[in-house]
Amino acid sequence: MVAPLKVGIAGLGTVGAEVVRLIERQQRNLSLRCGRGVRVVAVTARSKARKRGLDLGGVTWARNPLALANDPEIDVFVELMGGADDPALSAIEAALRNGKSVVTANKALIAKHGTRLAALAEKHGGALNYEAAVGAAIPVIKTLREGLAGTSIHRVYGILNGTCNYILTRMEREGLSFAECLKDAQRLGYAEANPSFDVDGHDTAQKLSILASLAFGTKVNQKAVYVEGISSIAPEDLRAADELGYRVKLLGVAVRTETGIEQRVHPTMVPRTSSIAQVMDVTNAVTVDGDGIPPITLVGPGAGGAATASAVVADIADIARGVRALPFGRPVDRLKMTTKAPMRRHEGGYYIRLMARDLAGTAATIATRLAEQKISIESIVQRHPDGDRAGAGATAKSSPVPVILITYATSEDAVHRALQAVQQDRVITGRPQVIRIEKN
């Protein structure tokens, strides 16, 4: 009879408490599926007295995370405290040095220290599993690391932040401003009191850096990701996107290019017919493009106690089965360095919204500046204040008039040079709105 896998959990918040409950509920199934039992034998948390609705009789309370990581009675150290550094980092390092396996849902820590921790896991023989760090219940880590091990990946992209997707969904459906939707998201608990980490794109960037490492064999480097948030998106951009056959999403995109791996997070227009465009509210999704396969899209809840706990327990079950995958799918010494790709080299289509002055020759000036940079226009719409639409050559009824352009594939550098020239010509007011387009 194989002895049960003995688990120690650091952190008994929403996710940690749900992991304890899930292991208790699924004990029989876990034993059948893994060939051995799984038991929580020790825990630690900031407050032992807090009521959590858990039966922890017979479970040892460690005095702190480091003591739990050094406990010889546990086989697996489960870190659910959060934070990119100590105490989580020191405790995980200690557990790995002790030859224990580690399971974590900590995206910030993996994005900052993942390569270093993977080297420790390789050296001392433990597993380092972190499925819950990206997309919660969506099994994207296993898909990239194991399911597609024989496939050359070209691009991985997705909706990786439920808060931003909820805000954009509400803005589109109800015509509300960003500020209105953000306030409501905070009221409902989808956004933090200080929401900048989510809405400015940094949460998505951390997750994307992890996916890029798995997809392309690079060292995890959040600093290599170009980041823009969604606060500049206005209801008129979403209305225009709808009329033009697109939907706006905050995407994290990692793609192999001739000059290296491009990693970027920004608002993006995607065709309304695409799988990723159908993902609404707080749901997350990841699409993978690779050799010999059509695009694969994984969709599911990207956050929440139950969803995150299910991924944590799945990682524990792998360890119980004896599965030891390399943390990033390749030996650490074979992972390549990657640097921040200059966005001026990015090529693609662009949505451009300008507030054009009601002056003779304005449209011709804009067209000339774009042509100078060899930018071809796929469509151009002039929107009058009364809601009518007309070609750019129509006579405007008031000033300024919104002009919306959709370009064919061009470079970011060319777009910025053209718009800088247009601003210097003083035929537009305010700052142009520019949103990148992902066609496929």
In what order do the strands lie in the sheet containing 101-104?
Answer: 60-61, 38-44, 5-10, 76-79, 101-104, 128-129
DSSP string covering 120-136, please? HHHHHT--EE-GGGTTT
Alpha helix (H) ranges present in 80-161?
88-97, 107-124, 140-142
Q: Say which amino acid occupies 347.
A: E
Report the 10 Å Cβ neighbour count for 176. Answer: 17
Dihedral (CA of 105, 107, 111, 112) sign = negative
Residues 405 and 373 sit within 8 Å (Cβ to Cβ): no
Active-site residue, from 107, 112, 207, 249: 207
Please tell me the distance from the alpha carbon of residue 317 to that of residue 5, in angstroms, as a whole number.
9
Q: Say which amino acid occupies 317.
A: A
Query: Please, what is the Cα angle at 40 between 39 and 45, to 5 degrees?
Result: 175
Residues 358 and 399 sit within 8 Å (Cβ to Cβ): yes
Report the 10 Å Cβ neighbour count for 150. Answer: 8
DSSP conformational letter for 4: P
Please tell me the distance from the alpha carbon of residue 55 to that of residue 64, in angstroms, as a whole number.
20
Residues 302 and 118 sit within 8 Å (Cβ to Cβ): no
DSSP string covering 23-56, please? HHHTHHHHHHHHSS-EEEEEEE-S-SSS--S---
Please tell me the distance from the alpha carbon of residue 162 to that of residue 134, in angstroms, as a whole number.
12
Whether 207 is catalytic: yes
DSSP string covering 295-313, please? EEEEEEE-SSHHHHHHHHH
CB neighbour class for 189 (10 Å; exposed up to 12, middle 13-18, buried from 19): exposed
Residues marked as catalytic: 207
